[in-house]
Every structure is written in C-alpha cells, then in structure tokens.
Amino acid sequence: MTVSVQGCDGSVLLDGSASGPSEKDAPPNLTLRPSAFKAINDLRAAIDKKCGGVVSCADVAALAARDSVFLSGGPDYKVPLGRRDGLSFATREATLASLPAPTSNVSVLLNALSKLNLNADDLVALSGGHTIGIGHCSSFSNRLYPSRDSTMDQSFAKNLYSTCPTSTSSNTTVLDLRSPNAFDNNYYVDLVNRQGLFTSDQDLYSDARTREIVKRFAGDERLFFERFAASMVKMGQLSVLTGKQGEIRDNCSVRNGRKVDGGDDDDEEGIWSLVDDEVVQSLAFE
C-alpha cells in the first residue's frame, strides 16, 4: 500500500534517524522497493537541475505514480500540485494502526477508508492498483494455510501452493494473473473468477456492498479508468501541507538540516494549484 500515514507529505520517503526507525521500516512498508525510492530521488535531482529546489518530494511521488500508471497502459490524469514535504515520519505504531492488512475484509477496509473520507466506490477503484505488481507469500498465506480459503478458485489455489509450499515461504507471485504488467481492468476479471490474491482483493467480490462495482469495472475498462483517476486525485489530497507548512526537502530521504520557522505562517493560504501537464512535460529530463 502506498498511502502515507500522515497524508501526502512524502513522509514515507524519509530514512530512519536517531529518533527511531522510519515509516518505511515499519512492517507494512518493508516490501516497498528500494528501486522506487531511488527513482524518486533521481527524478527529484533531474527536476532540481532544471528548476532549482521548488518541487517537493511529495509532488514528485504523486507525479511518478501518475506516470507509472499511464506508461503501463492506464489513464492519464491531471495531478493538483503544491504539496510540501513533512518534517517527520510516522512511528511504527501509527503506521501499523493506519494501514489495513491484506487479510482485511471489506468491513475493515471501508472503516479504514471512511476515516479518510473515502467510500466504497473509492475502495474498489483504488484497489484496481493491484492490476500491476507482485505480492509475497506472507501477504496471502492466510488464504492457503491451514486450509484453502473456500472463496478461492481451485486451480488458482493449486498454483499458489506450488509458489508457497509452506506458510512461511518467501516467494512472490503476480497480483493480476491475466496481465501482470499492464494497467487494465483484468484485476476485476480475476476477482469475478475468484482469482484475486489477497483477502482484501477477493472480498470486494464476496461482499454485497462492493460486488456490483467490481462487476461493472470488469465489464467496462473506460469506467474503471475514469473512477481510478478521480479516486487517485482525491486520495492525493489527503492532509496535504501547503504554503509555508513543512519544507521542500533538499534530499527526499532526509529532512533539511536547517530549522524551519513555523508559527503564524502556518495559517497562510497555500499555493495549491493545478499545473498543466504541458508545464510538467516541458521538464525534459536529461
């Protein structure tokens, strides 16, 4: 899961410090790939070279997510920009408490999302992010051991047992077996065929509150793309820091050394704005 616990403030990008282990070192985030953190830092360096240090790491992360979706075949959408970077990361306890586990059912997921003003439509649309990428056995072994989850298709289960021969195997498998590297609506086709990987995926089809939305997305890719983009924009505005709040980090992995002046300025109106794609695209990376 890629949502930052404190909102979209780039806190998950921070390395740990003397004050404790970082958000990315907390168990739910251990599977975030080191290459992704490097990509964000590299993108930031390229942008800094062109523009100076005016684009936050939080904005770079939001744009990188958008571009990854588009480049793998998904929708393009405009990302509101102007986020500032947070000064601290969430503790291990806060991270564990805020990110729902893949063993969660729809009730748990809806409850977690409702605290963020996200609803069942958002939940189903955003879960479509699992149309690309991989998961470790530990994230779905609850569905295999001690016995097969009865909502799981038998031949799909057979393959998963060979990938994860024991409940503690450390192997990985793809999240969307039909087209693991393409951003499309096959994730929902998987769910309809009871071939979703995590409990949090398959329960979207089992639960009457979300089943019809899954079916609609399985039959209408364009609708899924529209709803996914809208929910990403919505999620991307959770607890953003703007104006003079936070900072623009020099290095996305570390908060700036200088002391940041807080106080009255925190109430100042932010520079939240919708920047045209053309402007972003004109940053020709070298």
The DSSP string of 60-104 is HHHHHHHHHHHHTT------EE--BB-SSPPPHHHHHHHSPPTT-
1 scored as a contact of ligand HEM (CB under 6 A): yes
- Burial class from Cβ neighbours inside 10 Å (0-12, 13-18, 19+) for residue 15 reads middle
Q: Residues in the chain, how many?
A: 286
74 binds ligand HEM (CB under 6 A): no
Name residue 147's amino acid.
S
Does 9 show up as a binding residue in the annotation? yes
Q: Residue 7 annotated as binding?
A: yes
Stretch in the footprint of ligand HEM (CB under 6 A) among 13-21, 131-139, 155-163, 261-269: 131-139
Identity of the residue, 14 or 232, whose beta carbon is nearer to ligand HEM in the bound complex: 232
**Candidate segments 54-62, 124-132, 213-221, 264-272, binder of ligand HEM by CB under 6 A:** 124-132
Q: How far is the CB of 255 from ligand HEM (least distance, A)?
A: 25
Q: Quote the CA–CA distance of 110 and 25 in Å, as a whole number.
A: 26
Tell me how far, at minimum, the Cβ of 250 lies from ligand HEM, in Å. Answer: 27
- 13 Rama sector, left if φ>0, alpha if ψ -120 to 50, beta otherwise: alpha
Near ligand HEM by CB under 6 A, which window of 85-93, 97-105, 179-187, 215-223?
A: 97-105
Beta bridge partners of 135: 173
CA 143 remoteness from chain centre: 23
163 makes contact with ligand HEM (CB under 6 A)? no
Contact call for residue 127 and ligand HEM (CB under 6 A): yes
Q: Which residues, including other chains, have CB under 8 Å from residue 156's CB and lie 6 or more apart?
A: 177, 193, 194, 195
Among residues 118, 126, 213, 218, the one that binds ligand HEM under rule CB under 6 A:
126
The answer to whether the annotation marks 130 as part of a ligand binding site is: yes
Residue 134 forms beta bridges with which residues? 174
Q: Residue positions in the annotated binding site for Ca(2+)?
A: 5, 7, 9, 11, 23, 131, 176, 184
Binding stretches for ligand HEM (CB under 6 A): 1-2, 31, 33, 100, 102, 104, 109, 126-127, 129-130, 132-136, 139, 198, 200
Binding residues: 5, 7, 9, 11, 23, 100, 130-131, 176, 184
